Structure 1
Amino acid sequence: MITLTRLNGKSFSLNAFYIETVEAFPDTTIQLTNGRRYVVKESVDEVIVQSLDFYRKVNLLDPAFKGGGTD
């Protein structure tokens, strides 16, 4: 789980396994695989870093993987 902040300042936890896309509209918007969307205060890069850290914690990524690249 990653911890994010809604625009109203309330924190919540999100299961990073369900993240499909993360975009800036200009606010960071996260779309999940079930179609739900969340708008958060964190930047796109912050969400990516938290997601990669989560994947490392559950042993889905090599600890040396730094991420990066855009598509």
Structure 2
Amino acid sequence: MIRLTRLNKTTFVLNSDLIECFESTPDTVITLTNSKKYVVCESIDEVVEKVMQFKAGILKYANES
């Protein structure tokens, strides 16, 4: 799960496993596998970094167990 910011500055948590693609239009638009779209303040690079950090945290936790 990653924390993101909508354009109205409210935050929400997104299941990153459901992300199908990102677009910059110039706002960042995230399309999920169910075709739902979210427009967020973060850049594509920031979203990618958040997803990578989340997945790395899962692997780290799994290796510690």
Same fold judged by TM-score > 0.5? Answer: yes
Please list every run of 5 or more consecutive structure 2 residues that lacks an aligned counterpart in the other structure: 60-65
Counting aligned pairs with the same residue, the percent is: 49
TM-score by length of 2: 0.88
3-state SS of paired residue (2:34)? coil
**How many residues are aligned here?**
60
- Gap runs ≥5 in structure 1: 60-71
Alignment TM-score, normalising by the size of structure 1: 0.81
Whichever structure has more helix as a proportion of its residues is 2
Query: Per the alignment, in what secondary structure is the counterpart of residue 26 of structure 1?
Result: coil
Structure with larger RCO (C-alpha < 8 A, sep 6+):
2
Deviation per CA, 1:2-47, whole angstroms, max 9, x where unpaired?
Answer: 0000000100000110011011000000000011000000000000
Q: Which runs of 4+ in 1 moved over 2 A?
A: none
Structural RMSD (CA): 1.2
